[in-house]
Amino acid sequence: MSARSALALAVEPPEQALAEDFKRAMRRLTSTVSIIATGAEGERSGMVATAVSSLCTEPPSLLICINRTASLYQPLLANQRFSVNLLDATQSRLVGIFAGQLKGSARFEHGDWQACDDLPYLCDAQATLFCSVDARLSYATHEVIVGRVEKSRVNERISPLLWQDGKPAQSCELIH
């Protein structure tokens, strides 16, 4: 162990060091950027998320993880329905807007948002999954929500906006 590492361990509580190492490790987990949205016209709420994962195909379902202090949390629970909009690489400007630069319905003034069965969705997203809340699990500061997919929209172009090392990124096809 280097002197610097020993000093860091001596100064930082072990839990804090583990939390920092965990954050550094997660920066290496590249994920598609999504906007989770809920609410009817005038009462829309949305947030950027990378904690979205497919769960199973029978029934079609996914997982989302939301901090219980997020502005989307209470409206999502009240509505029991939400959309997951998988962003295209050209939509990186929406990340800051839905990550807190703007609040509430003002976020939806940016991008081509429409409604389907009273749920907001981003028309030019790579894909949109319309879900109902099927189950919930509370863990620490977050709620893990199982969304049962009721409907989906898929655009033909595949060019996901990715989040890697705390920054937007793009994918490229590997040639074998």
CATH of the domain at 93: 2.30.110.10
Quick one: 119 exposed, middle or buried, by C-beta within 10 A (0-12, 13-18, 19+)? buried
Distance CA 102, CA 125 (A): 20
Quote the pLDDT of residue 106.
Answer: 92
Quote the pLDDT of residue 44.
Answer: 95
Could you identify the residue written with the tokens 């998988």?
86
Quote the pLDDT of residue 7.
Answer: 53
Q: Is residue 19 part of a domain?
A: no
Q: Which two tokens stand for residue 56?
A: 């199973």
2 pLDDT above the threshold of 90? no
Q: Count structural domains, the chain.
A: 1
Query: Whole-prediction pTM value?
Result: 0.87
pLDDT-derived band of residue 176, with 50, 70 and 90 as boundaries? confident
What average pLDDT does range 17-45 have in this prediction?
88
Among 28-42, 43-57, 76-90, name the one with the lowest average pLDDT.
Answer: 28-42
Q: Is residue 133 part of a domain?
A: yes
Quote the pLDDT of residue 112.
Answer: 96
Name which residue leads in pLDDT, 101 or 149: 149
Q: Is residue 20 part of a domain?
A: no
**Domain extent for 73:** 32-170
108 pLDDT above the threshold of 70? yes
What average pLDDT does range 5-11 have in this prediction?
56
> Whose CA is closest to 48, among 31, 36, 64?
36
